[in-house]
A = this chain, B = another copy of it.
Amino acid sequence: MRFRYYWEDFTPGWTFENGPRSLDRDQIVAFARDWDPQRYHVDEQAAKETPFGGLIASGWQTCGLMMRMMCDGYLLDSACIGSPGLDEVRWLKPVRPGDALTYRATVLEQTPSQKDPNRGSVTFRWELVDRAGEPVVRIIGRQYYLRREPAR
């Protein structure tokens, strides 16, 4: 299987942007019923009585939206072979139905594998940014990618 993006392509400073996309009320409630049924994610009336003042998306769903925009943007055409995890997740602003969010990725570090000449890891900053230009979710995370050519 051949891909468009390999480890070599994600050099520090590489950036990508797509969107905007949004979550509607039904998507927010459906996701939350399955995975995070807190009152401010599933119940519009109850949400009004909380500090959020209305329905907001589960933080996990905002991560899901970010992941989906990453997939559609470049990841599905990449040699990504998983992620060991994230070093930071910040939910900076509540995400409400219809909020238009742009996905923005930036490569922070690119590290060859010490053990496997066919692989490397990449550390990214991933953000969803609202119409005002403010990040609503910011994540520092790492992924493993196959190399286009093995290290010598």
Contact = CB atoms under 8 A, between A and B. Distances in A.
Interface of A: 1, 34-40, 49-52, 58-61, 63-65, 67-68, 71, 75-76, 80-91, 94, 141
Contacts of A37: 68, 71, 76
Given A49-B1, A89-B89, A59 B83 contact: yes
Contacts of A86: 86, 88-89
Contacts of A75: 38
Contacts of A84: 90-91
Nearest to A80: B38
A34 B59 CA distance: 16
21 contacts: A35-B61, A36-B64, A36-B68, A36-B71, A38-B75, A38-B76, A40-B82, A50-B81, A51-B81, A52-B81, A59-B82, A59-B85, A60-B60, A60-B63, A60-B64, A82-B91, A83-B91, A84-B91, A85-B89, A85-B91, A86-B88
